[in-house]
Structure 1
Amino acid sequence: MRTQIGLLLALMLAVAAVATLGATGQVTFVNDPITGKPLALVEGIPGPEKGPPCQLDQRYVDEQPEGLRDDVAAAWQRLRDKAAAANVKLCVQDGKRSVGQQEREFADAVRRFGTRELAAKYVLPPEKSMHVKGIAVDIQPIASAVWVERNGREVGWCRRYANEQWHFEYDPGYVTAGCPALLPSATGS
């Protein structure tokens, strides 16, 4: 009887722990993205929160851009190949984020800047983030980001915000239409 109660208690604690981690975004309950699946599945997949140090600048990481949509991952590889051919190294400081990761980033920005409005100029809430959608990467160091700004459009990558020299988004339409005008910030103001 004691063994059964102990097992039941352990099971209940494990279920509570998993539920808590799921609610905070630290655990997600979706499968890997599959071409043709709804975007909501892709948006629920977390990207890595850390990576090895960037060889060019140890202040940054170089995470693997996991969790990007298939077309974006292919475009990322084309960009990286183009950079390598020009002897340029690109470090991904930040790529795909889960809703939970983005919520934590946004909450941290609110603490730093004092208001949601000011924070949103640098970190968007999850429902507006292109990182959550799996189509954005933050590239460091800035010298590499400058190279991408000059050369990325040819493979569909454009800088989007005037106040974020490192933030690039993929859209296949950029190849033919060119990059859209920079927005002042993520909020557009």
Structure 2
Amino acid sequence: MSTTVASSRRTAISVLVALGLAGIAMASLGATGSLPFTFKPVTGQALAVLEEVPGPETGPKCPLDQRYVDEKPVGLRPDVLDAWNTLRAKAKQQNVELCVNDSKRSRAQQQREFDSAVKRFGTAELAKRYVLTPETSMHVKGIAVDIQPLASAAWVEKNGGKLGWCRRYDNEKWHFEYDPAYATAGCPALLPSATGS
């Protein structure tokens, strides 16, 4: 065998081994939850990965209302997290505290939420008025937060639009979604519910 063929074969094997090791490293890091996910607007890539990233199941009690928690907004898309931090800082400047009762959910977390709502309301159609399926939830996409208590949510509804945060559903005074276009175009009209009806 010539040295050129042997060298090419070694290079190809080295590349394949390196790719295999990189894949194993990514899988193990993802399994431990310590893989840093970044948003890259490439169709079919980062969003699919982000949708599997779980958010916190709970958090410490909201100091303003013990019925709610104040989750860390872990797993939100990086631009959304930056926008959330800006919103929270702006609220704090005006002596308003915002508790994140719920933010990022994975597809599995959203499915559990939906299944629980079906049990509570009796049918999938009724449940969809308050909890969307994993395929349609903005919590799964990492762009939504549920803010409590309602006085804090009311402050966000009044002031958040200038920062890209808008309430989306008439029957959910706590649910806000981030879109940078809202800051310039204004908030869209409220939908009656998450299903639009």
TM-score if structure 2 supplies the norm length?
A: 0.80
Change over 3 Å in CA distance of 1:35–1:129 after alignment to 2 = closer
Q: Which amino acid aligns with 1:33?
A: F
1:17 aligned partner: none
CA contact (8 A) 1:28 1:45 kept: no
Q: Which residue of 2 aligns with 1:124?
A: 132
- The 5 Å alignment of 1:107-122 reads 107-122=115-130
SS of residue matched to 1:139: strand
Letter in 2 for 1:188: G
2:93 counterpart (85, 93, 111): 85
1:35 maps to a residue whose letter is F
Distance (Å, rounded) in 2 between the aligned partners of 1:28 and 1:124: 28
Given candidates 27, 32, 35, the residue that maps to 1:31 is 35
Alpha-carbon separation, structure 1, partners of 2:91 and 2:168: 19
Measure, in 2, the Cα distance between the counterparts of 1:108 and 1:35: 30
CA RMSD, Structure 1 to Structure 2 (Å): 1.4
Q: Does 1:134 align with 2:138?
A: no
Identity %: 67
5+ residue gaps, structure 2, are 1-30
Q: CA deviation at 1:34?
A: 1.9
Q: TM-score, normalised by structure 1?
A: 0.83
Q: Is the counterpart of residue 182 in structure 1 residue 190 in structure 2? A: yes
Question: What is the rounded CA distance, in whole Å, between the counterparts of 1:30 and 1:112 in structure 2?
Answer: 34
3-state DSSP of counterpart to 1:168: strand
Post-superposition CA distance 1:46-78 (Å, at most 9, x none): 000100000000000000000000100000001
Partner secondary structure for residue 101 of structure 2: strand
User: How many pairs align?
Assistant: 163
Structure 1 gaps, min length 5: 1-26
Cα offsets for 1:9-29 (capped at 9, x unmatched)? xxxxxxxxxxxxxxxxxx788
Candidates 65, 78, 81, aligned match of 1:70: 78
Return the offset for 1:30.
8.8
Counterpart amino acid of residue 32 in structure 1: P
Aligned CA distance change for structure 1 residues 152 and 39 (closer, same or farther; 3 Å): same
Q: Could you list the per-position Cα deviations for residues 111-159 of structure 1 after superposition, in whole angstroms to 9, with x for gaps in the alignment?
A: 0111111000000000000000000000000000000000001110000
Q: Which amino acid aligns with 1:137?
A: V
For residues 29 and 48 of structure 1, do their structure 2 counterparts lie closer, same or farther at Cα, with a shift above 3 Å needed? closer
